[in-house]
Amino acid sequence: GIQVEQSPPDLILQEGANSTLRCNFSDSVNNLQWFHQNPWGQLINLFYIPSGTKQNGRLSATTVATERYSLLYISSSQTTDSGVYFCAVTTTMEYGNKLVFGAGTILRVKS
């Protein structure tokens, strides 16, 4: 099946710093989503981005489907950005579509 790899696995930032998270996938996909899970467990959909670039405030994401990767940029990081960032891709299986998650990047932003 498709493999989804995220890097780095862990990241510690000082408040105000910028960072880039990467998601590589091993096969062609129908779409890609980025999620943020806060320390209380809530998973928030940040971007639905099968290709191209999107921006939402301090966050932006770029997916290059032909090269099988996506990047999530966090600028001017804040302590509230802490948590786990997951990318997830949709691939087509025999029974239909399946969403496959990467292992996540654990981000800690220090004040």
The residues that touch other proteins, with contacts defined as CB under 8 A, are: 30-31, 33, 35, 40-45, 48, 84, 86, 88, 90, 95-99, 101-104, 106
Q: In terms of CB distance, is 17 or 108 closer to other proteins?
A: 108
- Name the residue nearer to other proteins (CB basis): 81 or 102: 102
Smallest separation, CB 104 to other proteins (Å)? 6
Min dist CB 24 to other proteins, Å, is 15
Least Å from the CB of residue 42 to other proteins: 5
Reported in sequence order, the residue ranges of 38-104 that DSSP labels E, i.e. its strands, are: 43-48, 52-56, 59-64, 69-74, 83-93, 96-101
